[in-house]
Amino acid sequence: MNEEYLWDKSGEPDPEIKQLEDVLGTLRYQPRPLQLPELTNEKRKKGYLPWLAIAAALLVALFAGVVWLKLQSGGLKQNQEAVAPKSVQSPKSKVTPSTTSTPEEVVPENKIVQNNAFALHQRKDFVAINRSRQARTPAVQTVPSKEALLAKEQLLSALRLASEKLNFAQRKVQGPAGNPIRNQHKIG
Protein backbone atom coordinates (compact mmCIF):
# COMPACT_ATOMS: atom_id res chain seq x y z
CA MET A 1 0.00 0.00 0.00
CA ASN A 2 1.32 3.40 -1.00
CA GLU A 3 1.05 5.59 2.07
CA GLU A 4 2.29 8.66 0.16
CA TYR A 5 -1.09 8.77 -1.59
CA LEU A 6 -2.85 9.01 1.72
CA TRP A 7 -0.48 11.78 2.75
CA ASP A 8 -0.39 14.07 -0.27
CA LYS A 9 -2.13 12.11 -3.06
CA SER A 10 1.21 11.32 -4.78
CA GLY A 11 1.87 7.93 -6.27
CA GLU A 12 -0.48 5.09 -7.09
CA PRO A 13 -3.67 4.88 -4.96
CA ASP A 14 -4.74 1.67 -3.38
CA PRO A 15 -7.80 0.23 -5.18
CA GLU A 16 -9.81 0.09 -2.00
CA ILE A 17 -8.91 3.67 -1.22
CA LYS A 18 -9.87 4.65 -4.73
CA GLN A 19 -13.19 2.87 -4.40
CA LEU A 20 -13.91 4.59 -1.09
CA GLU A 21 -13.03 7.92 -2.63
CA ASP A 22 -15.42 7.31 -5.48
CA VAL A 23 -18.25 6.32 -3.16
CA LEU A 24 -17.80 9.07 -0.59
CA GLY A 25 -16.70 11.71 -3.10
CA THR A 26 -20.29 12.36 -4.07
CA LEU A 27 -20.91 13.70 -0.56
CA ARG A 28 -17.99 16.10 -0.50
CA TYR A 29 -18.60 19.81 0.00
CA GLN A 30 -19.52 21.63 -3.16
CA PRO A 31 -19.47 25.44 -2.95
CA ARG A 32 -22.66 27.13 -4.14
CA PRO A 33 -24.39 30.52 -3.50
CA LEU A 34 -26.63 30.90 -0.44
CA GLN A 35 -30.25 30.16 -1.21
CA LEU A 36 -32.68 31.38 1.44
CA PRO A 37 -35.80 29.30 1.82
CA GLU A 38 -39.05 30.91 0.77
CA LEU A 39 -41.36 32.49 3.38
CA THR A 40 -42.45 29.80 5.74
CA ASN A 41 -45.95 29.37 6.98
CA GLU A 42 -44.88 30.48 10.44
CA LYS A 43 -43.65 33.82 9.17
CA ARG A 44 -46.82 34.27 7.20
CA LYS A 45 -48.77 33.69 10.39
CA LYS A 46 -46.68 36.30 12.17
CA GLY A 47 -47.42 38.75 9.36
CA TYR A 48 -51.12 38.53 10.13
CA LEU A 49 -50.73 39.31 13.83
CA PRO A 50 -50.60 43.14 13.66
CA TRP A 51 -53.63 43.26 11.38
CA LEU A 52 -55.40 40.83 13.65
CA ALA A 53 -54.59 43.06 16.62
CA ILE A 54 -55.89 46.16 14.84
CA ALA A 55 -59.08 44.38 13.81
CA ALA A 56 -59.55 43.14 17.37
CA ALA A 57 -58.96 46.64 18.74
CA LEU A 58 -61.52 48.11 16.36
CA LEU A 59 -64.03 45.43 17.27
CA VAL A 60 -63.50 45.98 20.98
CA ALA A 61 -63.81 49.75 20.53
CA LEU A 62 -66.97 49.26 18.48
CA PHE A 63 -68.38 47.00 21.16
CA ALA A 64 -67.48 49.54 23.84
CA GLY A 65 -69.20 52.26 21.81
CA VAL A 66 -72.36 50.18 21.43
CA VAL A 67 -72.39 49.40 25.15
CA TRP A 68 -71.86 53.08 25.94
CA LEU A 69 -74.74 54.10 23.69
CA LYS A 70 -76.96 51.43 25.23
CA LEU A 71 -76.10 52.66 28.69
CA GLN A 72 -76.80 56.24 27.66
CA SER A 73 -80.18 55.39 26.20
CA GLY A 74 -80.91 53.14 29.17
CA GLY A 75 -80.15 55.99 31.56
CA LEU A 76 -82.39 58.28 29.55
CA LYS A 77 -85.27 55.81 29.70
CA GLN A 78 -84.74 55.41 33.42
CA ASN A 79 -84.95 59.16 33.86
CA GLN A 80 -88.07 59.30 31.74
CA GLU A 81 -89.58 56.65 33.97
CA ALA A 82 -88.51 58.70 36.97
CA VAL A 83 -90.30 61.68 35.46
CA ALA A 84 -93.40 59.61 34.87
CA PRO A 85 -93.47 57.04 37.65
CA LYS A 86 -96.54 55.15 38.77
CA SER A 87 -99.08 57.40 40.33
CA VAL A 88 -98.98 58.18 44.02
CA GLN A 89 -102.05 59.93 45.27
CA SER A 90 -102.07 62.31 48.14
CA PRO A 91 -104.49 61.57 50.94
CA LYS A 92 -106.07 65.01 50.60
CA SER A 93 -106.88 64.90 46.94
CA LYS A 94 -107.83 61.79 45.10
CA VAL A 95 -107.55 61.82 41.36
CA THR A 96 -110.11 59.88 39.42
CA PRO A 97 -108.47 57.58 36.90
CA SER A 98 -109.06 58.85 33.43
CA THR A 99 -108.88 56.72 30.35
CA THR A 100 -107.90 59.67 28.22
CA SER A 101 -104.87 60.70 30.20
CA THR A 102 -101.47 59.87 28.76
CA PRO A 103 -98.13 59.25 30.46
CA GLU A 104 -96.92 62.61 29.13
CA GLU A 105 -99.68 64.51 30.87
CA VAL A 106 -98.64 66.63 33.85
CA VAL A 107 -101.17 67.11 36.59
CA PRO A 108 -101.42 70.19 38.80
CA GLU A 109 -98.94 70.34 41.64
CA ASN A 110 -101.55 70.21 44.39
CA LYS A 111 -102.65 66.77 43.20
CA ILE A 112 -99.31 65.10 43.21
CA VAL A 113 -96.87 63.86 45.74
CA GLN A 114 -93.20 64.02 45.02
CA ASN A 115 -91.74 60.58 44.77
CA ASN A 116 -88.29 59.47 45.61
CA ALA A 117 -86.61 58.35 42.40
CA PHE A 118 -84.20 56.12 44.26
CA ALA A 119 -86.98 54.32 46.08
CA LEU A 120 -88.76 53.80 42.78
CA HIS A 121 -85.61 52.43 41.27
CA GLN A 122 -85.19 49.99 44.12
CA ARG A 123 -88.80 48.94 43.92
CA LYS A 124 -88.38 48.26 40.22
CA ASP A 125 -85.43 46.02 40.95
CA PHE A 126 -87.01 43.86 43.59
CA VAL A 127 -90.66 43.67 42.65
CA ALA A 128 -91.91 41.73 39.68
CA ILE A 129 -93.72 44.00 37.26
CA ASN A 130 -95.97 42.87 34.45
CA ARG A 131 -94.88 45.42 31.88
CA SER A 132 -97.34 44.31 29.22
CA ARG A 133 -100.19 44.83 31.68
CA GLN A 134 -98.71 48.18 32.64
CA ALA A 135 -98.72 49.20 29.02
CA ARG A 136 -102.39 48.33 28.68
CA THR A 137 -103.33 50.20 31.84
CA PRO A 138 -103.47 53.95 31.24
CA ALA A 139 -101.34 55.98 33.62
CA VAL A 140 -103.37 58.12 35.94
CA GLN A 141 -100.90 60.91 36.44
CA THR A 142 -97.24 61.75 36.16
CA VAL A 143 -95.00 63.16 38.82
CA PRO A 144 -92.05 65.22 37.73
CA SER A 145 -88.97 64.26 39.67
CA LYS A 146 -87.05 66.74 41.77
CA GLU A 147 -84.17 66.47 39.35
CA ALA A 148 -86.40 67.38 36.43
CA LEU A 149 -87.87 70.37 38.24
CA LEU A 150 -84.43 71.54 39.28
CA ALA A 151 -83.17 71.12 35.72
CA LYS A 152 -86.13 73.12 34.44
CA GLU A 153 -85.44 75.88 36.92
CA GLN A 154 -81.78 76.00 35.97
CA LEU A 155 -82.66 75.92 32.30
CA LEU A 156 -85.00 78.87 32.67
CA SER A 157 -82.43 80.76 34.69
CA ALA A 158 -79.76 80.21 32.05
CA LEU A 159 -82.07 81.15 29.19
CA ARG A 160 -83.18 84.29 31.02
CA LEU A 161 -79.60 85.37 31.47
CA ALA A 162 -78.67 84.58 27.87
CA SER A 163 -81.72 86.39 26.55
CA GLU A 164 -81.04 89.39 28.75
CA LYS A 165 -77.46 89.71 27.57
CA LEU A 166 -78.41 89.20 23.94
CA ASN A 167 -81.11 91.82 24.21
CA PHE A 168 -78.70 94.25 25.80
CA ALA A 169 -76.26 93.74 22.94
CA GLN A 170 -79.05 93.98 20.41
CA ARG A 171 -80.36 97.17 21.98
CA LYS A 172 -76.91 98.71 21.80
CA VAL A 173 -76.30 97.91 18.16
CA GLN A 174 -79.84 98.19 16.90
CA GLY A 175 -80.15 101.10 14.54
CA PRO A 176 -81.27 101.91 11.05
CA ALA A 177 -79.42 98.83 9.80
CA GLY A 178 -81.88 96.54 11.56
CA ASN A 179 -81.30 93.53 13.75
CA PRO A 180 -77.76 92.21 13.39
CA ILE A 181 -78.43 89.06 15.38
CA ARG A 182 -81.31 88.22 13.12
CA ASN A 183 -79.21 88.92 10.06
CA GLN A 184 -76.42 86.69 11.30
CA HIS A 185 -78.90 83.92 11.95
CA LYS A 186 -80.06 84.06 8.36
CA ILE A 187 -76.63 83.16 7.01
CA GLY A 188 -77.04 80.34 4.55
Interacting residues toward another protein by CB under 8 A: 49-50, 52-54, 56-58, 60-61, 64-65, 68, 75-76, 79-80, 83-84, 104, 106, 144-145, 147-149, 151-152, 154-174, 178-182, 184-185, 187-188
Burial of 141 (0-12, 13-18, 19+ CB in 10 A): buried
- Given the complex with another protein, which of 133 and 171 has the nearer CB atom? 171
Least Å distance between CB 115 and another protein?
14
Task: Give the three-state DSSP class for 53.
Answer: helix
- Given the complex with another protein, which of 2 and 170 has the nearer CB atom? 170
- Which of 119, 69, 110, 70 is closest to 92 using CA atoms? 110
Least Å distance between CB 171 and another protein?
5
Alpha-carbon dihedral angle through residues 109, 112, 113, 117, given to the nearest 10 degrees: -90
- Given the complex with another protein, which of 13 and 140 has the nearer CB atom? 140
- Is residue 148 within 8 A of residue 83, CB to CB? The reply is yes
- Which of 152, 87, 95 is closest to 114 using CA atoms? 87
What is the distance between the terminal CA atoms of the chain, rounded to a whole angstrom? 111
- Given the complex with another protein, which of 124 and 160 has the nearer CB atom? 160
Least Å distance between CB 132 and another protein?
24
Least Å distance between CB 84 and another protein?
8
Least Å distance between CB 39 and another protein?
15
Classify residue 101 by its DSSP letter.
-
- Given the complex with another protein, which of 10 and 157 has the nearer CB atom? 157
